[in-house]
Amino acid sequence: MRALLLTFCLICLRTSFAENCSFSFDQLPSKLSATCLYENIESKQLNSALEAYSPRYPLWSDGALKERWVYLPPGAQINTKDPNHWEFPVGTVFWKQFSLDGKRLETRVIKKVGDTREPFVAGSSVNWIYGSYAWNADESEAILQQWEVERARGTAHTIPSKASCYSCHGVEGFTLDENQLFKDSYLDFRPLGFKAFQLTDASQDFPEVCREKLHSSYLKEISLDSLTLNKLLDANLLTDSHDWKNRASLIPGDSLQRATLAYFSVNCSHCHSSGIPDVHNVLKVPGLFAGEAGFVGMRLAVDVSGTPYEMQPALVTLVNQKTSYYRRASGGVFRVKAGDYEESALWRRFTSSSFDHMPKIGAHKVDPYGQCLIENWIESLGED
């Protein structure tokens, strides 16, 4: 009788889960359990309709471990015509969960709820909804947050406010026409990690010279199960396959060059991706860096459309280029001076523990691996 009851209850739990979780929400629910990430949040049984993925080149988050999942609505494809900018079908959901010191801290969720081509409205997304859920002490539930939460569960980790999601996930790639008017009237927020170069099949791509500087969080992340480009292609989930089948990397260059380009793309390009910096800064980092902060003009996103290493936007906008804002009063310094990292504003700001530290928000501790890449790469530029 007991066994029978138990079986019965398991079935009823499953049915109620399926009924409650159709992924059809168009506002973020107040509890994480209602976003359908877990079939059973207490036992942490994941929803089998999701796929786990881990970017080949993880973002530095002061050593926190991140796990990520995606839900793609059945039957829909990701439009990959432009290899650098994937367009996701309405209904796509992403989750990213942060843990530190063995504790779950927060789970971030973004969902595509519309596909309107309306002009961009400052401060709000037309098509994507964003939010982060803070975990409770016994990890039985996580609750949607509006405001920043410092020292989450007693750790050094800060949960960002809802508004600051947009600082990094904001619009990308403004272009102006000959009259200096926006060429693209359709601009929207976007996911950042689910990209072609992040989903290639190689198990790791870290140059030997910096291997010992890798924080354990990196090694854990890339060893997680992952949805890959090959799997997406085999399941016919991408509209355009380019030449991605079985590629180990889509980034040009040798191992150090690839890793450095990827590092800039992952850690810096969500802010440094536009050629129209004034507008870019005002919109992307509302309030914080408005006004004088403009005119940076560095583009640090990797271009996987076949652009050779020397022509990658990061090379063109960094190497032997004077800063446009930093130390402007003294005529600027080099962003990257080939062969000399100490004379490079990029290195100084990356290693700074003061107000001018880069990245501007998100991470505060200097990443030893990133520093190693930057130093070796800048030195190698002096060898040609």
Which residues sit at the interface with ligand HEC, rule CB under 6 A?
55, 58-59, 66, 68, 94-96, 108-110, 130-132, 160, 162, 164-165, 167-169, 191-194, 266-268, 270-272, 281, 285, 289, 293, 296, 298, 323-326, 335, 345-346, 349-350, 358-362
54 torsion bin: left (phi>0), alpha (psi -120 to 50), beta (else): beta
| CA-based max dimension of the chain | 83
- CB 384, min distance to ligand HEC, A: 22
d(CA 375, CA 216): 21
Q: Which is nearer to ligand HEC, 83 or 359 (CB)?
A: 359
Distances (CA, A) of 246 to 172, 188, 199, 208: 29, 31, 11, 23
- CB 245, min distance to ligand HEC, A: 22
Q: Which is nearer to ligand HEC, 41 or 227 (CB)?
A: 227
- CB 99, min distance to ligand HEC, A: 13
- CB 2, min distance to ligand HEC, A: 42
- CB 4, min distance to ligand HEC, A: 41
CA angle at residue 145 from 115 to 109, to 5 degrees?
40
Sheet strands side by side (includes 51-53): 51-53, 65-71, 93-100, 103-112, 128-135, 142-145
Q: Which is nearer to ligand HEC, 21 or 144 (CB)?
A: 144
- CB 61, min distance to ligand HEC, A: 7
Q: Which is nearer to ligand HEC, 194 or 369 (CB)?
A: 194
d(CA 138, CA 98): 16
d(CA 88, CA 178): 30
- CB 72, min distance to ligand HEC, A: 13
Q: Which is nearer to ligand HEC, 252 or 359 (CB)?
A: 359
Q: Which is nearer to ligand HEC, 9 or 143 (CB)?
A: 143
d(CA 288, CA 307): 34
Q: Which is nearer to ligand HEC, 5 or 260 (CB)?
A: 260
Please check whether residue 17 is in contact with residue 42, taking contact to mean a CB–CB distance below 8 angstroms.
no
Q: What letter does residue 365 receive in the DSSP assignment?
A: S
d(CA 345, CA 352): 10
Closest-CA residue to 346 (of 318, 311, 325): 318
